[in-house]
Amino acid sequence: MSSITLSAGAVPGPRKDPEVALRLGRRRKTTDVVIRMLCVIATLIGLIFLASILATLFYRGFEAMNLRVFTHNMAPPGSEGGLLNAIVGSLIQATLGTAIGTPIGMLVGTYLAEYARGSRLGDVVRFVSDILLSAPSILIGLFVYQILVLPFGGFSGWAGVVALAIIVIPVVVRTTEDMLTLIPNTLREAVIGLGSPKWKMIVFVCWKSAMSGIITGILLAVARVAGETAPLLFTSLGNNAWSTDLTKPMSSLPLAIYAFAGSPFEDWIALAWAGALLITLSVLLLNILARTLLRGRK
Amino acid sequence: MSQAATASPPAPARTARGAGNTGDIIFEWACRGAGVLVLILLGAIIVELFIAGLPAFRAFGVGFVWSTEWDPVQEVFGAGVSIYGTIVTAVLSVLLAVPLAFGVAFYLTELAPPWLRRPVGTAVELLAAVPSIIYGMWGFFVIVPAFATYIQPTLIDTLGELPAIGFLFQGAPFGTGIFTASFILAIMILPFIAATMRDVFEQVPPVYKESAYGLGATTWEVMRGVVIPYTRVSVVGGIMLGLGRALGETMAVTFVIGNANRITGSLFGPGNTIASLVALEFGESETGSLKLSSLLALGFILFVLSFIVLATSRYLLRSRLKA
């Protein structure tokens, strides 16, 4: 070791040429600077896309936004319609879907974090839940069509709710498990040491201390299902009239946007932009809210 | 243990513990049941789609997968064109997104000043939160006209003149088509790939990087010589995750791909993907018809494709998941 260090001053081989060394160094520096620049440009491109989407939405959305959007139902082109039924439909379906999916997702996440650490079944459940998280949502729509729409004779709000609930589950599973694994084991041991049964430890201590993280997961899940279109195409179908009956086809904002944006009518396209602005703003706000909650925790 | 319990347990303590046990058993089985429900859910999706697609598989045999015919009048259906479109758009979008995502991840982990990291990182992640249909509208009303007037004519005049690969960039500049769909998909999967890359880059032990810096390496040399070799497997996993997402995107693609059931050699030509075909044709299919069954069979094929890609991604990312 020391002999190498000592002989480092006199390396055998050709003599170091200062001219070559200088050029080599310069080339390495240039490559470094060029690649740094390219990375900054790549980041800027990403930000420009986001800015362009938001700018387009604000520009075209605000133009079309007025009170009528919130007070009138969808109507034929040229007759001053709004988006009221679509907004209400979206709220109903997203709320119910989250309400059904969240408890299941929380239980699965709890199972993975508290009961199944290192177990084979737990690994399989985690794997399947991760696949469901990224699986194409249109397939969930097709699945619910097969099990709920065909046998029960028609498109319905309930079918849409179930499809959204299936999308909610893996999102909540992921965050619940992540948050519960962060809780130190000493806390669990302290609770068990006081003589509490395990379920009380989980519900009153683990869930409670992971609450902000779990709420983050729920917010992200709501944001995700609020913008889902594909699974609703084959389940709740969409409805141009006012309807809060979950056994009938039901409208929702994404479906209304899809129907209106592809139409040739100016006023429908304008309404689609208003709807798009509404939905994007709520989704982005939910996301930012979720992130702030999580940051407060860390 | 059991001896101590049977020796002298005070009666009230035993009932209290007994009640706790019942609660424990119920709660544990509720959790386990929910876990199993998720397994059943995935199994049911696969089985249901397969059963529903069975009439189509029976009618057209294995040839369904590569047949390029889609003729509702003659009731002849094949998956060839949409499978081709799905794979081409997904792969092309990954090729477009990976360099950008790498740049973003490199910038966020090594180059950006610390105060800028969180806002820029959040902004890029928000790209993933924008709903698919919004990308569709934005693509249709902003990107398609821009492509038709500026980008495609330029590419046709330059790259289209090249030998060997020129045919990929020929044709009329409609603005819609395979290339536009890939472009939009690339923006949509960019945040997923970038976030994974950033996370794994951050897990490289600082000592390794410091050693390389100590030897006089530049930032790029540290990235190329230390960070990338260390995280290679997870980076590929992140790219596969993006690919899996791109395969199944529906609404955005439906708006911009041009929706034609033919394979054109040019990237500017129209096409379709499994998801876009299902979304468009589903409403026009009668219950119990061969067409509906063919669409569900397409859904089954898409599920198998995404399952393979996503499972690979997760396998490659397993080291990151454990950490």
- Please report the residues numbered 24 through 83 in chain A whose beta carbons come closer than 8 angstroms to any beta carbon of chain B: 28-29, 31-32, 35-36, 38-43, 45-47, 49-50, 52-53, 56-57, 60
Which of A30, A108, A119 is best to mutate for the B interface (most B CBs within 10 A)? A108
Nearest residue on chain A to B19, judged by CA atoms? A197
Closest CA to A169 of A100, A242, A66: A100
- Three-state secondary structure of B165-227: CHHHHCCCCCCCCHHHHHHHHHHHHHHHHHHHHHHHHHCCCHHHHHHHHHCCCCHHHHHHHHH
pLDDT score, position B265: 81
The answer to whether A228 faces chain B, any CB pair under 8 Å, is: yes
Give me B135's structure tokens.
């990308």
- Cα B182 from Cα B94, distance rounded (Å): 8
The answer to whether A135 faces chain B, any CB pair under 8 Å, is: yes
pLDDT in tens, B129-165: 999 999 999 999 999 999 999 988 888 888 888 888 8
- Cα B272 from Cα B262, distance rounded (Å): 8
pLDDT in tens, B23-45: 899 999 999 999 999 999 999 99
- Cα A156 from Cα A152, distance rounded (Å): 9
Average pLDDT, chain A: 90
- Cα A233 from Cα A252, distance rounded (Å): 10
Residues of chain A with C-beta less than 8 angstroms from the C-beta of B131: 226-229, 254, 279-280, 283
State mean pLDDT over A139-159. 93
pLDDT in tens, A239-286: 888 888 899 999 999 999 999 998 899 989 999 999 999 999 999 999
User: Residue B285: what residue type?
Assistant: S
ipTM: 0.90
Residue A297 has pLDDT above 80, yes or no: no
pLDDT score, position B20: 59
**Percentage of chain B modeled with pLDDT above 70:** 93
- Cα A223 from Cα A289, distance rounded (Å): 11
Closest CA to B169 of B142, B147, B146, B136: B147
- Residue A296: pLDDT band (50, 70, 90) is low
**pTM of the entire predicted model:** 0.91
CA distances from B4 to A197, B10, B14, B109 (A): 19, 12, 13, 57
pLDDT score, position B321: 54
Nearest residue on chain A to B253, judged by CA atoms? A230
The answer to whether A204 faces chain B, any CB pair under 8 Å, is: no
Residue A146 has pLDDT above 80, yes or no: yes
Residue B255 has pLDDT above 90, yes or no: yes
pLDDT score, position B8: 45
* String of DSSP letters for A3-64: HHHHHGGG-SSSPP-HHHHHHHHHHHHHHHHHHHHHHHHHHHHHHHHHHHHHHHHHHHHHHH
- Cα A149 from Cα B193, distance rounded (Å): 36
Q: Do B38 and A288 touch (CB under 8 A)?
A: no
CB A176 within 8 A of CB A217: yes
- Please report the residues numbered 205 through 264 in chain B whose beta carbons come closer than 8 angstroms to any beta carbon of chain A: 218-221, 241, 244-245, 247-251, 255
pLDDT in tens, A52-109: 999 999 999 998 898 988 998 888 888 888 899 999 999 999 999 999 999 999 999 9
- Cα A117 from Cα A111, distance rounded (Å): 9
pLDDT score, position A112: 95
Residue A11 has pLDDT above 70, yes or no: no
The answer to whether B15 faces chain A, any CB pair under 8 Å, is: no
Sketch out chain B's domains with CATH numbers. 56-322 (1.10.3720.10)
Q: Tell me which residue has tokens 């009528």.
A: A68
Which of A199, A216, A228, A288 is best to mutate for the B interface (most B CBs within 10 A)? A199
Closest CA to B250 of B91, B42, B71, B89: B89
Closest CA to A127 of B312, B74, B11, B124: B312
pLDDT score, position A10: 55
Q: Do B107 and A43 touch (CB under 8 A)?
A: yes
Give the total residue count for chain B. 323
Q: How many CB atoms lie within 10 A of CB A12?
A: 5
Q: Do B49 and A56 touch (CB under 8 A)?
A: no
DSSP letter (8 states) at residue B62: G
pLDDT score, position A13: 64
- Cα B181 from chain centroid? 14
B174 compared with A168, residue with greater pLDDT:
A168
* String of DSSP letters for B80-148: HHHHHHHHHHHHHHHHHHHHHHHHHHHIIIIIS-HHHHHHHHHHHHHHHHS-HHHHHHHIIIIIHHHII
Nearest residue on chain B to A277, judged by CA atoms? B134
B109-142 as b/e, with b when 16 or more CB fall inside 10 Å? bbbbeeeeeeebbeebbbbbbbbbbbbbbbbbbe
- Cα B247 from Cα B91, distance rounded (Å): 9
- Residue B169: pLDDT band (50, 70, 90) is confident
Average pLDDT, chain B: 89
Residue B13 has pLDDT above 60, yes or no: no
- Cα A210 from chain centroid? 20
State mean pLDDT over B50-62. 93
Give the total residue count for chain A. 298
Give the minimum alpha-carbon distance from A177 to chain B in angstroms, rounded to a whole number.
12
The answer to whether A293 faces chain B, any CB pair under 8 Å, is: no
The alpha-carbon radius of gyration of chain A (Å, integer) is: 27
pLDDT score, position B318: 84
> A with B: how many residue pairs have Cβ under 8 Å apart?
259
User: Residue B1: what residue type?
Assistant: M
Nearest residue on chain A to B191, judged by CA atoms? A46
The answer to whether B42 faces chain A, any CB pair under 8 Å, is: yes
The answer to whether A279 faces chain B, any CB pair under 8 Å, is: yes
Closest CA to B36 of A169, A289, A276: A169
By the 10 Å C-beta count (0-12 exposed, 13-18 middle, 19+ buried), B178 is classed as buried
pLDDT score, position B323: 46
Q: Do B20 and A200 touch (CB under 8 A)?
A: yes
Residue B275 has pLDDT above 80, yes or no: yes
pLDDT score, position B9: 45
State mean pLDDT over B88-102. 96
pLDDT score, position A1: 42
What are residue B70's phi and psi, to 5 degrees? -145, 90
- Residue A134: pLDDT band (50, 70, 90) is very high
pLDDT score, position B3: 45
